[in-house]
Chain A
Amino acid sequence: MIDLLGTIVVKAGSAVPTLSAALALARPHDTVVVEAGRYAEPPIEVTRPVVILGRGRPVFVGRGDHTVIRVTADSVTIAGIAVERVLPSNVAEPSAIRLDSVAHCRVADVEVRDSFFGIYGSAVESCLIENNRVVGPGRSEQESGNAIHLWSSRDVTVRGNVVERYRDGIYLEFVTGSRLEGNRSRDNRRFGLHFMFSDDCLYQENQFSRNGAGVAVMYSKQVRMVANRFEHNRGQAAYGLLLKDITDSRLEKNVFDANTIALYFEAANRVEAVENHFSSNGWAIRMLANSEANVVTGNAFVGNGFDVSTNSRSNASRFDGNFWDRYRGYDLDRDGFGDAPFRPVRLFSLVVEQNEPSLILLRSAFVDLLDAAERVLPILTPETLVDRRPLLAMPGRSR
Chain B
Amino acid sequence: MRGATRRIIATHATNVGRSRWLLVYTGLLALAAVLLVWLGGSAARALVSLINVVLLLVPLMAVVFGTLYVYNAREFTELLLTQPVERDAAYFGLVGGLAVPLVVAFLVGVGVPLGFAAFSDLTILPGIVALLGVGTLLVLVFTAFAVALAVRVEDRAWGLGAALLVWLVCTVIYDGLILLLLATVRDRPLEIPVLVMTMLNPIDVARIQLLLTFDIAALLGYTGTVYERVFSGLLGRSLAVVVLLVCAMVPLLVGRFWFRRKDF
Contact = CB atoms under 8 A, between A and B. Distances in A.
Nearest to A260: B220
B208 to A, nearest CB: 7
Interface in B212-252: 215, 217-225, 227
B179 A366 contact: yes
Contact of B175 (A235, A237, A306, A365): A365
B106 to A, nearest CB: 19
Contacts of B220: 234-236, 238, 260, 282
Contact of A306 (B173, B191, B218): B218
Contacts of A142: none
Interface of A: 234-238, 258-261, 280-283, 303-306, 351, 354-367, 369
A365 B217 contact: no
Given A355-B182, A367-B175, A281 B223 contact: no
Contacts of A360: 178, 194-195, 198, 208, 223, 227
A280 B56 contact: no
Nearest to A348: B179
B206 to A, nearest CB: 11
Contact of B182 (A281, A357, A363, A364): A357
Contacts of B48: 303
B110 interface: no
Interface class of chain A by DSSP = loop
Contact of A356 (B55, B179, B222): B222
A386 B186 CA distance: 29
A234 B207 CA distance: 22
Contact of B207 (A259, A305, A355, A364): A364
Contacts of B190: 357
Given A282-B218, A305-B218, A357-B182, A365 B208 contact: no
Given A258-B217, A259-B217, A363-B207, 19 more contacts: A234-B217, A236-B222, A261-B221, A282-B220, A282-B224, A303-B45, A304-B217, A354-B186, A355-B183, A356-B222, A357-B191, A358-B182, A359-B224, A360-B178, A360-B208, A360-B227, A362-B211, A365-B55, A369-B172
A236 B186 contact: no
Nearest to B222: A236
B51 interface: yes
Contacts of B183: 351, 355
Interface string B167-205: 000011101101100110010011100110010000010
Nearest to A369: B172
6 contacts: A237-B222, A260-B221, A357-B189, A360-B195, A365-B172, A366-B179
Contacts of A237: 222
Q: Which 7 A-B pairs rank lowest in CB-CB distance, beginning with the nearest?
A: A305-B218, A282-B218, A366-B175, A282-B217, A356-B223, A364-B175, A260-B220
Contacts of A363: 51-52, 55, 207, 210-211, 215
A369 B56 CA distance: 13
A380 to B, nearest CB: 12
A369 B52 CA distance: 13
B230 to A, nearest CB: 10
B263 to A, nearest CB: 38
A295 B179 CA distance: 34
A362 B215 contact: yes
A235 B217 CA distance: 9
B219 A282 contact: yes
Q: Interface size for chain B: under 10, 10 to 19, 20 to 34, or 35 or more residues?
A: 35 or more
Contacts of B195: 360
Contacts of A351: 179, 183
Choose among B191, B220, B227 the residue with the greatest number of A CB atoms under 10 Å from its CB. B220
B175 A359 contact: no
Contacts of A261: 221
Given A236-B225, A259-B217, A355 B186 contact: yes
Contacts of A362: 211, 215, 218-219
Given A359-B223, A360-B227, A365 B171 contact: yes
Contacts of A364: 172, 175, 204, 207
A277 to B, nearest CB: 14
Choose among B51, B175, B190, B194 the residue with the greatest number of A CB atoms under 10 Å from its CB. B175
A112 B176 CA distance: 56
Contact of B194 (A283, A305, A357, A367): A357
A260 B223 CA distance: 12
A358 B179 contact: yes
Contact of A365 (B56, B179, B210): B56
Contacts of A234: 217, 220
Nearest to A257: B217
Choose among B56, B186, B217, B219 the residue with the greatest number of A CB atoms under 10 Å from its CB. B217
A59 B172 CA distance: 65
A82 to B, nearest CB: 36
A359 B178 contact: no
B45 A366 contact: no
B46 to A, nearest CB: 11
A399 to B, nearest CB: 15
A365 B207 CA distance: 10
Nearest to B225: A236
B175 to A, nearest CB: 4
Choose among A306, A351, A360 the residue with the greatest number of B CB atoms under 10 Å from its CB. A360
B171 A305 contact: no
A283 B218 contact: yes
Interface string B68-83: 0000000000000000
A394 to B, nearest CB: 9
B186 to A, nearest CB: 6
A258 B223 CA distance: 18
B227 A260 contact: no
Contacts of A305: 215, 217-218
Choose among A261, A280, A281 the residue with the greatest number of B CB atoms under 10 Å from its CB. A280
Nearest to A238: B220
A365 B218 CA distance: 17
Given A303-B45, A365-B55, A366-B179, A359 B172 contact: no
